[in-house]
Amino acid sequence: MLLQNGRVIDPSSGLDGQADILVVGGRVKAVGTVKERDLPPGCKTYDLGGLWVTPGLIDMHVHLREPGEEYKETIASGTMAAAAGGFTAVACMPNTSPINDSQGVTSLILARAVGASARVYPVGSISKGAKGEELAEFGEMKTAGVVALSDDGVPVVNSQLFKRALEYSGNYDLLLISHSEEIFLSRGGAMNDGSVSTRLGLRGIPSAAESIAVYRDIALAEYTGRPVHIAHVSTGEAVDLIRRAKSKGCRVTAETAPHYFTLTDQDVGNYNTNAKMNPPLRSEKDRLEMIRGLQDGTIDAIATDHAPHSRLEKDKEFDQAANGIIGLETSLPLSLELVRVGIIDPVRLIELMSVNPARILGVEGGTLKEGCIADITVIDPEKKFVFAAEGIRSKSRNSPFIDRELTGKAVMTILGGRITHSELA
Amino acid sequence: MQSDYVFRHKHLLSMEDLSVQDISFILQTAESFKEISTRAIKKVPTLRGKTVINLFFEPSTRTRLSFEVAAKRLSADTFNISASTSSATKGETLVDTARNLEAMHPDIIILRHSSSGSPDLLTHHLQSSVVNAGDGTHEHPSQGLLDLMTVKEGKGGFAGLKIAIIGDIAHSRVAHSDIIGFTKMGAEVFVCGPATMIPPYLEQFGAKVCRSVQDAVADADVVMALRIQRERQLDPLIPSLREYASFFGVNEKLLNLAKPDALIMHPGPINRGVEIDPGVADGPRSVILDQVTNGVAIRMAILYLLMGGD
Ligand SMILES: [Zn+2]
């Protein structure tokens, strides 16, 4: 296929300008001006004037719920949502049922992902059963196909075990992704500790629950010389700690999610369980610090922490409702908002949503260089749409953004040369 | 009272939702109902044919009984469902329970629940009126209103009063309703307790947080002691009840700092000798039992007004 006249934004090759992309055999054959006579016979041509053509977006933090909770999401439905949101690859966290703590579960996930609408990169658990007691079989899981390790959903409370995990992960060159939370501070908490939690009479989670844990993770990464990736950063203090660690040369990377730079704890309103997540929505000050971290490079990636839950888990008393929201289909428009208001430029956006996630996880993608896999996202930055419950590809509907008008959308998603989503006529 | 005022609420969920006019009107209505409880035949036909369900997921004898007495004095049919007899223990959700009750067409559901915001959740699934009889650590508006009524009776009004609330503010839904209600009506509320029991941003309700209990009580017109809510604390927030009693207990010595005619209040049930000295609780300035009496009148007023009055 030939993608013509688009604005090609590829930070990996320093390209930002109008160009054609020729895809042959699932790979990028040529970037630049493609002449008619170079086209293979029967080549489909798409005129993408006015649209952005970028490396396929990669979401390094999603929950696909399969195996175990297929009523919330399956690998098939989750990757369809990914494709609709412009993603060509997702990394799925291990807190399924059973937990992905062994090669058997990893293999099952990868078998189910064959033919899915996005590449699926399983993340294995750090500890057996994510119980924080014994190391899981990193080597076996790596052989089966995990790209990183995390006990996401819960922190590794035991610092000794986390240090050993950092050390041992070095044998297999696997990245540790940390869900950083000091659980004695957050225990029983339903939302951010602040004026809203006091007003609603809900137990609060202080921001220090995050920063204390982030500092521990950084200290151990520094001590062991191993890289650590901090998941879903939500507080200004954590951004500050990561910034300082990076300036000292510590191998730390970080992600945040669109809700942390778009919403605050005020959005909990009157017990809106679609604004309940862990870490919780924080203060306006934290939100602004998150944006600063995205701007100055402290935060490397935008991930969604896509966490599907059915109505059963959300239509409940606030303190008993499940944590998390879906995010794959709103991540791009919410992130594009940062571009529209001039906080970041399109190149930085693609770094955050494609180049850096690929680099951090060590997976293919994140580039449009000739010869690379043809994972491509076509974005209409001006397209307005209402995020309606009926159109959602995910099996779940737990989003605080439902019925919001959003601007900017993936209008075509290409996975290895195959179109997985298209809104082009 | 302005003649054009109409009570427009379908539910009673919080003191926060009520305007100054609403509160004045409820208090005025309760005052007119109070007399019914002193009659030989303590019953009026006002809510005859109406169905009131007490849905209590937390044990509470006094609040449940108070609502039940109030409903019966207005001739409503009342039904009590408590957690032990409900399906909650069998895994039925609150929303399921609500839907099942709804199928029986009740007029008012009075909910007591350990989760903050649960009455709000019910209103999304029910046609009937919902009364919050205490939700988690959020609010307990009928208790707040009866406290307002008791102070109004004792002091004639609210403007310029200094009200001291001592104890576990963070876990007290009564304190939350009281702070909002009293400040809304023009009184000043000073709170004090162990710092582990003071929630953040309390000033947003207009409360003044004191570090010493003496500062809070000095020249107070009303001194309210709160119950230590051990059951709502995840871990102990104080080293011992003994230390609490000696530093935050309301006793005669402390009360010497208050106005001589200060009212002594407590939402009950009392841990005698901990939050309040027995002598003070039973003393001449104590209005603790008036609070209970007024509770029935306030709850009669609430049920009556939610059913459209008249
Ligand atoms: Zn997590």
pLDDT digit string, tens, across residues B260-303: 999 999 998 898 889 999 999 999 999 999 999 999 999 999 99
Residues sharing a CB contact under 8 Å with residue A158, sequence separation 6 or more, in sequence order: A132, A133
Task: Using the structure block, give the residue that is written with the tokens 């109902």.
Answer: B33
Ligand 1 midpoint to CA B256 (Å): 54
Beta bridge partners, A140, equal none
Chain A interface includes B201 (CB < 8 A): yes
Residues sharing a CB contact under 8 Å with residue A155, sequence separation 6 or more, in sequence order: A132, A178, A179, A180, A181, A182, A183, A213
At position A10, the amino acid (one-letter code) is D
Picking from A197, A270, A320, the nearest residue to B120 by CB comes out as A270
pLDDT value, residue B84: 65
B residues 155-174 closer than 8 Å to A (CB): 173
- Looking at residue A97, the DSSP 8-state letter turns out to be S
A203 Cα to chain B: minimum distance (Å): 8
More reliable by pLDDT, B82 or B13? B13
Q: Determine if the peptide bond prior to A94 is cis (ω within 30°).
A: no
Chain A interface includes B116 (CB < 8 A): yes
Cβ contact A387:A379 at 8 Å: no
B20-34 helix and B141-155 helix, angle to the nearest 10 degrees: 70
> Would you say residue B310 has pLDDT above 80?
no
Average pLDDT rounded to a whole number, residues A29-49:
90
pLDDT value, residue A35: 85
Q: Do A198 and B138 touch (CB under 8 A)?
A: no
A residues 293-312 closer than 8 Å to B (CB): 312
Q: Write a three-state SS string for A272-321.
A: CHHHCCCCCCCCHHHHHHHHHHHHHCCCCEECCCECCCCHHHHCCCHHHC
Q: Do A204 and B201 touch (CB under 8 A)?
A: no
pLDDT value, residue B229: 78
- Tokens representing A245 are 């660690």
pLDDT value, residue B268: 87
* Burial of A341 per CB tally in 10 Å (0-12, 13-18, 19+): exposed
Query: A315: which chain B residues are within 8 Å (Cβ-Cβ)?
Result: 93, 95, 121
Secondary structure element (H or E) that encloses residue A361, with its range: helix A356-361
> Would you say residue A218 has pLDDT above 80?
yes
- Tokens representing B132 are 């919050």
Cβ contact A96:A62 at 8 Å: no
Ligand 1 midpoint to CA A392 (Å): 23
φ, ψ of residue A39 in degrees (nearest 5): -75, 135
> Would you say residue B191 has pLDDT above 70?
yes
Interface size A-B, in CB pairs within 8 Å, comes to 70
Which has the closest alpha carbon to B109: A237, B118, A73? B118
CA distance A180 to A230: 7
φ, ψ of residue B152 in degrees (nearest 5): -60, -40
Task: Using the structure block, give the residue that is written with the tokens 């309700």.
Answer: B205
pLDDT value, residue B4: 80
> Would you say residue B85 has pLDDT above 70?
no
Which has the closest alpha carbon to B302: B148, B157, B86? B148
CA distance B180 to B201: 13
Which has the closest alpha carbon to B57: B104, B92, B107? B92
How sure is the predictor about B118, in pLDDT bands with cuts at 50, 70 and 90?
A: very high
Query: A200: which chain B residues are within 8 Å (Cβ-Cβ)?
Result: 116-117, 138
ipTM: 0.92
Beta bridge partners, B188, equal B162
- Looking at residue A353, the DSSP 8-state letter turns out to be I
Task: Using the structure block, give the residue that is written with the tokens 């002091």.
Answer: B155
Angle at the Cα of A169 (from A167 to A174), degrees rounded to 5?
Answer: 145
A159-169 helix and A208-224 helix, angle to the nearest 10 degrees: 40
How sure is the predictor about A229, in pLDDT bands with cuts at 50, 70 and 90?
A: very high
Average pLDDT rounded to a whole number, residues B202-221:
96
Query: A199: which chain B residues are within 8 Å (Cβ-Cβ)?
Result: 16, 201, 204-205
CA distance A54 to B120: 45
Query: B116: which chain A residues are within 8 Å (Cβ-Cβ)?
Result: 200-202, 271, 317-319
Active-site position among A59, A305, A375, A380? A305
More reliable by pLDDT, A133 or B271? A133
Coarse DSSP helix, strand, coil percentages of chain B, rounded to the nearest 5 percent: 40, 15, 45
Lowest mean pLDDT among A154-168, A366-380, B76-90, B100-114: B76-90
Chain B interface includes A193 (CB < 8 A): yes
Query: A203: which chain B residues are within 8 Å (Cβ-Cβ)?
Result: 137, 234
Chain A interface includes B117 (CB < 8 A): yes
> Would you say residue A419 has pLDDT above 80?
yes
Lowest mean pLDDT among B72-81, B90-99, B192-201: B90-99
Query: A319: which chain B residues are within 8 Å (Cβ-Cβ)?
Result: 115-117, 136
Q: What is the largest CA-CA distance in chain B?
A: 56
- State what percent of residues in chain A have pLDDT above 70: 100
Q: Do B95 and A201 touch (CB under 8 A)?
A: no
Parallel/antiparallel/unpaired status of strands B162-166 and B188-192: parallel
Picking from A199, A270, A317, the nearest residue to B115 by CB comes out as A317
Mean pLDDT of chain A: 97
Average pLDDT rounded to a whole number, residues A198-221:
98
CA distance A102 to A96: 12
Cβ contact A307:A325 at 8 Å: yes
> Would you say residue A401 has pLDDT above 90?
yes
Which has the closest alpha carbon to A232: A98, A131, A327? A327
Cβ contact B227:B266 at 8 Å: yes
Which has the closest alpha carbon to A293: A197, A368, A214? A214
Mean pLDDT of chain B: 93
Give the end-to-end CA distance of chain A in Å, rounded to a whole number.
16
Which has the closest alpha carbon to B20: B120, B158, B203? B158
pLDDT in tens, B157-181: 999 999 999 999 999 999 999 999 9
Cβ contact B197:B168 at 8 Å: yes
Angle at the Cα of B246 (from B240 to B248), degrees rounded to 5?
Answer: 90
Ligand 1 midpoint to CA A300 (Å): 17
Which has the closest alpha carbon to B144: B298, B30, B251? B298
Task: Using the structure block, give the residue that is written with the tokens 């075990």.
Answer: A161
pLDDT in tens, A177-208: 999 999 999 999 999 999 999 999 999 999 99
CA distance B303 to B62: 17
> What pTM did the predictor assign?
0.94
Parallel/antiparallel/unpaired status of strands A418-422 and A405-415: antiparallel
Q: Do A200 and B176 touch (CB under 8 A)?
A: no
- State what percent of residues in chain B have pLDDT above 90: 83
Give the end-to-end CA distance of chain B in Å, rounded to a whole number.
16
Q: For the CA atoms of chain A, what is the radius of gyration? A: 21
List, as one string, the DSSP characters of B129-191: EEEEEEETTTB-HHHHHHHHHHHHHHHS--TT-EEEEES--TT-HHHHHHHHHHHHTT-EEEE
Give the side-chain half-sphere CA count within 13 A for A411: 23
pLDDT value, residue B236: 85
Tally of residues, chain B: 310
Angle at the Cα of B278 (from B149 to B271), degrees rounded to 5?
Answer: 80
CA distance A259 to B56: 36
Average pLDDT rounded to a whole number, residues A275-291:
98
pLDDT value, residue A37: 83
B204 Cα to chain A: minimum distance (Å): 7
Cβ contact A286:A263 at 8 Å: no
pLDDT value, residue B309: 77
Average pLDDT rounded to a whole number, residues A411-425:
95
